[in-house]
Structure 1
Amino acid sequence: MKNYHPAMPHGPIKEVLPDVFFVMGTMKNEFFGSMWQFSRNMTIVRENGNLPLINTVRLEEEGLMELESLGKVTHVIRIGDMHGVDDPFYVDRYGAEFWAMPGMRVQEGLKVDHELKEGASLPLKNASLFVFHTSKRPESIIRLDREGGIMIACDSLQNWVEPDEFFDETTIPTMEEIGFFKSGNLGLAWMQECQPQAEDFIRLKEIPFEHALCGHGYPFIGEATKTYHETFNRFFNI
């Protein structure tokens, strides 16, 4: 049996938009020389009874039963290089096809079935892929062309408006001081690690959307564009 990343505390699966589901879970990792515990999110899209998973978060057995009640897990989609610890669990448990960007650091033993590329097909209808060209590690955003545009991001876009129940108390003051808790923010650890440049965000500003479901923070439902455009300007003066 493979040694999968363990299931950690998580919340319920919530339908935040029609046939689009969101679940918050827990992650521990080292940043800036210390261990942090914070929340991370998985997005689930239902199409014709199939369930592509984006930004996987391993669920406990009760949560997996809830997931299975929604449909059949068919695809695991990796859109950010700094996530992915739970991809092998879902690929193996459900025999799901694995999608990842070229150059991603894929977990040992995991085979990429399909490469994610701009302009190429996706396992989602009416969807497109935005790729960050200047990021030092692969990162992308999936846009669903429904409900005015839904952006599914990993670390690039975030929406941690406040600490949630999955944070460690010792982590919160550090993240508050650094400035993580802002509506419609960029991922600060990702910004430091990957050094994306303004030209990517100039391109991103051309894409219309109403909602953002990110790898960290709360769902941003409705009128998300204005806040994120203000954030792009704050960081890059664009």
Structure 2
Amino acid sequence: MTQYQDALPHGNIQEVLPDVFFVTGSMKNEFFGSMWQFSRNMTVVRDNGNLTIINSVRLNDEGLAELDKLGKVVNVVRIGDMHGVDDPFYVDHYKATFWAMPGMGVQKDLKVDKLLTEGGEMPFSDCSFFEFKSVQRPEGILRLDREGGVMIACDSLQNWVEPDEFFDPETVSTMANMNFFVKANLGLAWLHESKPEPSDFIRLKEIPFEHALCGHGYPFINNAQAEYHQTFNRFFNV
């Protein structure tokens, strides 16, 4: 029998754009030899009454009841190799189709139903996919062609402007010293693990967008592209 991670503390589901929902929860994990407690986000896209979960965060019973009011969960999508601990719960609970990138390490009891690739089939309409091609661990970004373009990222793009209620004090101090709390940032742990090259960000700059919903940090609503382009230049001089 599959063992699921318990539901950790989380906030309420918010509709941040029409038919696009966002919820912030908790994560505890070991990084660089110590335990960290920090926040992580799940995005839910509604398309013709069907829901797609991206960057899954397990909700408690009350949260699941609110999710069910939004529509029917039909897809669970993994776009980052460093996330996915709650994918098995949602796939099993809703008998959902599971999407993942080729080469992702998924749990042994979890079957990838559909591969997520550039130019391939997408989990919902008005959607395209960007793949980081130079990285050591699979990572991608879904672009929703609504509201001027919505980038749904995992660890690559982040927007931890400041710590929130789901951090513990020790982790706040550690991450502040490492410059995690920067608007329109790149994921520092992701950079360390995946080692992307400038070529990926040259390609990423060609994709227009207005908003960014990331696996970590606050929703970046309006004028996100210019801020992230400055970040790409700061890290990679592109």
Taking structure 2 as the reference length, the TM-score comes to: 0.99
**1:199 matched residue in structure 2:** 199
**2:162 matched residue in structure 1:** 162
Sequence identity of aligned pairs in percent?
Answer: 70
- The two structures, once aligned, show a CA RMSD in angstroms of 0.5
**2:138 matched residue in structure 1:** 138
Runs of 4+ in 1 over 6 A off after TM superposition: none
**1:18 matched residue in structure 2:** 18
Alignment of 1:30-109 (within 5 A): 30-109=30-109
Per-residue CA distance 1:75-125 (angstroms, 9 max, x = gap)? 000000000000000000000000000000001200000000100010111
**2:121 matched residue in structure 1:** 121
Q: Is the 8 A contact 2:157 2:184 kept in 1?
A: yes
**2:153 matched residue in structure 1:** 153
Tell me the number of residue pairs that the alignment of Structure 1 and Structure 2 aligns.
238
**1:172 matched residue in structure 2:** 172
**Partner letter of residue 158 of structure 1?**
Q
Note the residue ranges of structure 2 that are not aligned, 5 or more in a row. Answer: none
Deviation at 1:227, TM superposition (A): 0.6
Q: Is the 8 A contact 2:151 2:213 kept in 1?
A: yes
SS of alignment partner, residue 46 of structure 1: strand
Give the distance between the partners of 1:2 and 1:157, measured in 2 at CA. 31
Alignment of 1:1-12 (within 5 A): 1-12=1-12
Q: Is the 8 A contact 2:41 2:55 kept in 1?
A: yes
Q: Is the 8 A contact 2:2 2:109 kept in 1?
A: no
SS of alignment partner, residue 232 of structure 2: helix
Deviation at 1:5, TM superposition (A): 0.8
SS of alignment partner, residue 167 of structure 2: coil
**Partner letter of residue 231 of structure 2?**
T
Q: Is the 8 A contact 2:91 2:97 kept in 1?
A: yes
Give the distance between the partners of 2:216 and 2:178, measured in 1 at CA. 16
SS of alignment partner, residue 200 of structure 1: helix
**1:222 matched residue in structure 2:** 222
SS of alignment partner, residue 175 of structure 1: helix
Instruction: State whether structure 2 residue 236 is matched by structure 1 residue 236.
Output: yes
Q: Is the 8 A contact 2:28 2:35 kept in 1?
A: yes
Per-residue CA distance 1:123-169 (angstroms, 9 max, x = gap)? 11111000000110000000001100000000000000000000011
Taking structure 1 as the reference length, the TM-score comes to: 0.99
Deviation at 1:2, TM superposition (A): 2.4
